[in-house]
Amino acid sequence: MGAKPMTTDHARPAVTATAMRKAYGEHVVLDGIDLDIPAGSVFALLGPNGAGKTTVVQILSTLIRADGGVLRVAGHDVVRESDAVRAAIGVTGQFSAVDGFLTGEENLLLMADLHHLPRRERKRCAADLLERFDLVDAAHKPAATYSGGMRRRLDLAMTLVGRPRVIFLDEPTTGLDPRSRRTMWEVIRGLVADEGVTIFLTTQYLEEADRLADRIAVLHRGKLVAQGTPEQLKRQVGGGHITLRFTDPRGHDRAARTLDVMARDDDALTVQIPGQGDVRSLRALLDRLDHASLDVDELRVHTPDLDDVFFALTGNPVAEQEPTR
């Protein structure tokens, strides 16, 4: 394990793609995708089921061939220098590489063997990773007994054995509970901060992309329909809103005329007010309601999600992107 030239690394792009295409028969999955991801950054590819996220990851990680495009990962051409690309990357797939019959430690040692680590180093590497991913207590239990969150952590730990410079994480938190998701976010942030690796992640959650990524791209019908920082994307999508429900029609009507509402529902006795739900604006809102002596039955904060992104960008709610025949 030599020292990593981090400073020069940062100046170079970690992933570039020009006109990436892929079709399965008549079904065009990727219809000319361009990417430019600087080293040491986190990039999130956002899209609903079937959008082609896994396909992009598989192509960039040399698992399948694109039909066209110029693709470079970690400074190497994905097709002509696929061995060099494979040596520089780690992939944690949507479906885990963990062997349930082996313990956490055995899984890691197996990876160390695959990477030809010297005998002494393999033990130390496994121990380090178990420690770092909070799996020491579970190290000698079969991975089949692990929770979903533990399994994902082990999966990512296994990816790190090869000291990759670019890590592909295909939906790293799908199916995890909010707490395990948060733990995973910390782990991912730590990787970038401590080791300066580049992360390419796919997700169906706008919140996840927002929390982790320096840049986000949205995949829809084979194209990237939006690209930018989380802030730029949120500005495009518009903020969230706050829903207030009232107990009686009179209060509801008065609120609808007093507040700057964006929508009202006279049957549900609700109004919607634009806002992110931050403490300051919530407090101001509650003060206004107090002053107007308006009794609110229920208050809900809605932060923008994938649905809002798709509605804003395409005018359609998100739907699974099945092949059109």
Ligand X SMILES: Nc1ncnc2c1ncn2[C@@H]1O[C@H](COP(=O)(O)OP(=O)(O)OP(=O)(O)O)[C@@H](O)[C@H]1O
Binding site for ligand X (CB under 6 A): 24, 29, 47, 49-55, 94, 204, 322-323
Query: Minimum Å distance from CB 96 to ligand X?
Result: 14
Q: Find which of Mg ion, ligand X, none residue 49 binds, CB within 5 to 8 Å per kind.
A: ligand X
Q: Using alpha carbons, select from 102, 156, 104, 148 the residue that is nearest to residue 130.
A: 104
Residue pointed to by tokens 């802030």:
231
Query: Exposure of 12 by Cβ count < 10 A (0-12 exposed, 13-18 middle, 19+ buried)?
Result: middle
Residue nearest to ligand X (CB): 54
Query: Minimum Å distance from CB 71 to ligand X?
Result: 16
Which segment (89-97, 188-196, 251-259, 301-309) binds Mg ion by CB under 5 A? 89-97
Q: Should residue 54 be labelled a site residue for Mg ion when binding is judged by CB under 5 A?
A: yes
CA-only gyration radius of the chain, Å: 23
Q: Should residue 58 be labelled a site residue for Mg ion when binding is judged by CB under 5 A?
A: no
Q: Using alpha carbons, select from 226, 263, 223, 229 the residue that is nearest to residue 244.
A: 263
| Distance from C-alpha of 157 to C-alpha of 146, rounded to nearest angstrom | 14
Contacts from 126-131 at CB under 8 Å and sequence distance 24+? 129/157, 129/160, 129/161, 130/104, 130/105, 130/157
- Our CB check for Mg ion shows the closer of 55 and 198 to be 55
Q: Using alpha carbons, select from 54, 47, 94, 52 the residue that is nearest to residue 319.
A: 47
- Our CB check for ligand X shows the closer of 52 and 164 to be 52
Q: Find which of ligand X, Mg ion, none residue 47 binds, CB within 5 to 8 Å per kind.
A: ligand X
Q: Find which of ligand X, Mg ion, none residue 24 binds, CB within 5 to 8 Å per kind.
A: ligand X
Query: Minimum Å distance from CB 203 to ligand X?
Result: 9
Q: What tokens were used for 282?
A: 């919530």
Which segment (13-21, 50-58, 84-92, 114-122) binds Mg ion by CB under 5 A? 50-58
Query: Minimum Å distance from CB 321 to ligand X?
Result: 6
- Our CB check for ligand X shows the closer of 175 and 323 to be 323
Query: Minimum Å distance from CB 57 to ligand X?
Result: 8
> Strand, helix or coil at 144?
helix
- Our CB check for ligand X shows the closer of 317 and 323 to be 323
| Distance from C-alpha of 94 to C-alpha of 105, rounded to nearest angstrom | 22
Query: Minimum Å distance from CB 255 to Mg ion?
Result: 43
- Our CB check for Mg ion shows the closer of 47 and 162 to be 47
Q: What tokens were used for 284?
A: 């101001």
Point out which residues bind Mg ion (CB under 5 A): 53-54, 94
